[in-house]
Amino acid sequence: MNSVLKIVLQRLALGVLTLFIVSIVIFVAVNLLPGDFAQAILGQGATQEAVDAIRRDLGLDQPMVVRYLTWLADALRGDLGNSFAQANFASFVGEDSGVRVTVADQIAPRFANTMFLAGVTAAIAVPFSVTLGILAALYRNTVFDRITNVSTLTSISSPEFFLAYVLILMLAVLNPVFPTLSNIYDGMPFLERLDKTMLPALTLTLVVTAHMMRMTRAAIINLLASPYIEMARLKGISPMRVIVKHALPNALAPIINVVALNLAYLITGVVVVEVVFVYPGIGQLFVDSVKIRDIPVVQACCLIFAAAYILLNLTADVLSILSNPRLRHPK
């Protein structure tokens, strides 16, 4: 158990270091975006004095290194800063700037909506993909196996917006089963929220199914030639039971990895889908904030995306180690 704890701590340390490096990249990249927030809100006819006053009010006149260290220190305390777009800029005319809306207040409800969408998608995609992978392994090299592989590869090869519009056409326009827009709000009844979330969830399911299905299929097929599987077959155990009871538990490590990676995608890769369906999640907030150069919100969204991706990758590593004795006790 000490070796497992050591490996977990090493993974955590690597994750923290990775997040620190990513935070530098995020800050530099966001601050190199073209355009200026102060100029954007005042318009082209603004005087340089007014632009400078707003930049000073927001701290944008500070050197980049100073701003990064301040932002990092605040983020470590859980303070992601204040939204530029929601600020009262009365101070540039010498008045009190008033109370500002924090980034956390803006992100919290949007992140909850994204997590709901990711949860619905995972509830559909994971069992569906694993089941398809098991059946494809059981009936490998058959018509079912070929159709499954072609279908999933086609879906993952198609752009997300294309899949989204195809589903809108098929399930909202030609056959009005689900609404075209996912305009959910706080306090909406669960079933109504689920109904409005189904189309983006189905779109994301089509995107992530191929990876999980093919990894499940490959992992199980790789184990079917093992001696203990041959012994189970010789005992007269049914093929489905051989796969589910004997092969699947030993194929969990790679399956867990690919499931965790795709769950990370469901949080970090929802931007296009949320924009298409006007879903009020963190991806939609990210796009809106980039448009208006709301730097603190953009930085916070990027940091949350990176943290979620790193955390789920670490979780996949740890679960893979715990599920595989060969990884727990490497030679």
pLDDT in tens, 284-311: 888 888 887 788 888 899 888 888 888 8
- Cα distance between the two ends of the chain: 16
Domain that holds residue 214: 108-291
Same domain? For 84 and 185 the reply is no
Q: Domains in the chain: how many in total?
A: 2
Q: What is the pLDDT of residues 224-276, one digit of tens each?
A: 777 877 787 777 788 778 777 777 777 777 788 888 888 888 887 788 898 89
Same domain? For 164 and 272 the reply is yes
Q: Is 276 exposed, middle or buried (0-12, 13-18, 19+ CB in 10 A)?
A: buried
Classify 188 as helix, strand or coil: coil
Same domain? For 186 and 64 the reply is no
Same domain? For 86 and 202 the reply is no
What pLDDT does 331 receive? 56
Same domain? For 93 and 222 the reply is no
Same domain? For 263 and 128 the reply is yes
Same domain? For 32 and 167 the reply is no
Identity (one letter) of the amino acid at 241?
Answer: R
Neighbours of 59 (CB within 10 A): 12
Distance from C-alpha of 298 to C-alpha of 290, rounded to nearest angstrom:
6
CATH code for the domain of 215: 1.10.3720.10
Q: Is 55 exposed, middle or buried (0-12, 13-18, 19+ CB in 10 A)?
A: middle
172-207 CB burial, b ≥16 within 10 A, e <16: eeeeeebbbebebeeeeeeeebebbbbbbbbbbbbb
Distance from C-alpha of 175 to C-alpha of 102, rounded to nearest angstrom:
42
- Compute CA 90 distance to the chain's CA centroid, rounded to the nearest angstrom: 38
Same domain? For 186 and 37 the reply is no
Same domain? For 187 and 268 the reply is yes
**Are the C-beta atoms of 33 and 286 separated by less than 8 Å?**
no
Same domain? For 46 and 66 the reply is yes
Same domain? For 48 and 118 the reply is no
Same domain? For 208 and 300 the reply is no
Provide the residue-wise pLDDT of the chain in tens; the chain has 331 residues: 567 777 778 888 888 899 899 999 988 888 787 766 676 666 666 677 777 777 777 777 788 888 888 888 888 888 888 887 766 544 444 444 445 678 888 888 999 999 999 999 999 999 999 889 888 888 888 898 899 888 888 888 888 889 899 999 999 888 888 888 888 888 889 999 999 999 999 999 988 888 888 888 888 888 877 787 778 777 778 877 877 777 777 777 778 888 888 888 888 778 889 889 989 999 888 888 888 778 888 889 988 888 888 888 888 777 777 766 665 555 5
Classify 102 as helix, strand or coil: strand
Classify 147 as helix, strand or coil: helix
